[in-house]
Structure 1
Amino acid sequence: MTNETSPLRIDIISDVMCPWCIIGYRQLAQALEATGTPHEIQWHPFELNPTMPPEGQDTFEHISEKYGSTRAQSEQSRTQMTALGKYLGFEFGWGEGSRMHNTFNTHQLLHWAETQGRKHEMKQALFTAHFTNRRDLSDINVLADIAGENGLDRAEALAVLDDQRFAKDVREIEAFWTKQGIQGVPAVVFDRQHLVTGAQGVDNYTNILKQLTKAET
């Protein structure tokens, strides 16, 4: 419900390796600001490449193998995403050597960050670390550094990743959303019942928010 005492709940299932996830979130954020919709966002884990080896894979190579895209098509897609990012205030730092990484540890770090009240901030920091600064998110020391840079205890973050204490919790949450039929991201669930997939654009998100608000008043 969207009234003064109960903000609109928004569940976002995403992976920090997904460029459309940060684009979609930035579009949604603009729509939320434009409509002044009271809201609360809950982030949930999804792994685009759960079998990705620890060393990761060159992004061009990965996209070619997974989707059959040519290098020219991938470059065109990067150009499109870069322009969208710029419009939304997010910088994509594509370049030779850009890599995809296994993100199971990033989701464990985010799960821990939630216990510290910093999950949203860490999610944004990880998007920036990967897409803007091209940092190696498969390295737990890099992940711990990012946590420390964003107001969390670096040593504790490293310990969390080293002993994998939240591995079971993250697997269970991933399995829950898979059972709900989530097969790709971004996936956004409004008010626990309205599923919207893909980066919809500011105008579409604005219309969705207006429709939800109108329906619940």
Structure 2
Amino acid sequence: MKIEIWSDVMCPFCYIGKNNFEQALEKLPFKDQVEVEWKSFQLDPALDPKETKTTFEYFREKKGFPEAQAQQMIGQVKQMGAGAGIDFKFEKALITNTFSAHQLLHLAKKYNKANEMEEALFIAHFIDGKNVGDLETLLSIAGSLGIDKDEAKQVLMSEEFSSDVNQDILEAKNNGITGVPFFILNGKYAVSGAQPVELFASALQQTYDETVTPLKNLSDNRASCDTDGCEI
């Protein structure tokens, strides 16, 4: 069973959704039969990759929110994060263009380390206050996951995997995805947002029951033919 997840590194709900999804999956007996594919999405592709903004600067400039309103919203997200086991450090987070981080994610896919890369990028951005658009920061993250830094540098200094990132974004558009996180379960169902663990577990179980488990025959085998002949 395949789960596709569209996400952006600077989306706190994506990090919450990841944790809740993984907690739900861990409880299910068929967890080893689930393939997870992380897909790229950019919430603000217009951001300058050479610049960073604080969370409050971004809210003020992009959304027009006064600091008091931004503080209130961030407090609510921190509370949600705590429930998912995340201690967000928004006061340290640096908002920047995430395209390079998505290139690195696609490199990690090559080595079956996309999930580890997604987690490492979230930690770097939301916990450690690192610039996930910075070359040296990304190379350090790649190295920490056992990915060759020279290869990572070649990817980040070139257009390699750019088409893969753009393909994910186009696919999101074609699927009507306008916000993240967004989960597509085996091409059959969709779950949007950082939903509770219980909802993820229920959705995963339903998808598995309908698309993976053997068909239950609601009749007998009469009036049918098989390789041994026909039965009336």
TM-score by length of 1: 0.89
Q: Distance in 2 between matches of 1:109 and 1:146?
A: 9
| Identity percentage of aligned residues | 38
Q: Which residue of 1 aligns with 2:78?
A: 82
Q: Is the CA contact (8 Å cut-off) linking 2:188 and 2:207 kept in structure 1? A: no
Runs of 4+ in 1 over 4 A off after TM superposition: none
Is this contact kept in 2: 1:37–1:209, CA < 8 A?
no
CA distance in 1, matches of 2:206, 2:75: 33
Q: How is 1:6-25 mapped onto 2 (pairs within 5 angstroms)?
A: 8-25=1-18
Counterpart of 2:191 in structure 1: which amino acid? Answer: V
The CA deviation at 1:79 is 2.1
* Aligned residue number for residue 65 of structure 2: 69
More divergent stretch after superposition (185-194 vs 148-157): 148-157
CA distance in 2 between counterparts of 1:200 and 1:73 reads 24
How far apart, in 2, do the equivalents of 1:147 and 1:124 lie?
Answer: 12
SS in structure 2 at match of 1:163:
coil
Q: Could you list the per-position Cα deviations for residues 57-82 of structure 1 after superposition, in whole angstroms to 9, with x for gaps in the alignment?
A: 22212223433433223222222222
Matches within 5 A, 1:17-56: 17-38=10-31, 39-54=34-49, 55-56=51-52
Partners of 2:111 and 2:24 in 1: CA distance: 28
Cα deviation per residue 1:163-212 (whole Å; 9 max; x = unaligned)? 22221232122212212211110010001121111111112212222322
**Alpha-carbon spacing, 1:37–1:71, altered in 2? closer, same or farther (3 Å):** farther
Q: Structure 2 CA distance, aligned partners of 1:207 and 1:169?
A: 31
Partner of 2:123: 128
Tell which structure's C-alpha radius of gyration is larger. 2
Match of 1:154 among 137, 149, 153: 149
1:113-139 superposed Cα distances (whole Å, 9 cap, x missing partner): 111221111111000000000101111
The answer (yes or no) to whether the contact 2:143–2:149 under 8 Å persists in 1 is: yes
Per the TM alignment, residue 109 of structure 1 is displaced from its structure 2 partner at its CA by 0.7
Alignment-derived partner of residue 4 in structure 1? none
Task: Give deviations 1:25-58, integer Å, cap 9, x for gaps.
Answer: 1111111112334311100000011010120322
User: What residue in structure 2 maps to residue 107 of structure 1?
Assistant: 102
Specify every segment of 5 or more residues in structure 2 that has no aligned partner in the other structure, as ranges.
214-232
Partner of 1:144: 139
**Structure 2 SS opposite 1:24:** helix
2:92 is the counterpart of 1:92: no
1:12 to partner: Cα distance: 0.1
Relative contact order, higher structure (CA 8 A, sep 6+): 1
Task: Give SS of 1:30's match.
Answer: helix
1:180/1:33 CA distance change after superposition, 3 Å = same
Count of aligned pairs between the two proteins: 209
> Given residue 88 of structure 1, which amino acid in structure 2 is its aligned partner?
A
Q: Is the 8 A contact 2:182 2:190 kept in 1?
A: yes
Which of 196-205 and 34-43 deviates more? 34-43
User: Normalising to structure 2: TM-score of the pair?
Assistant: 0.83
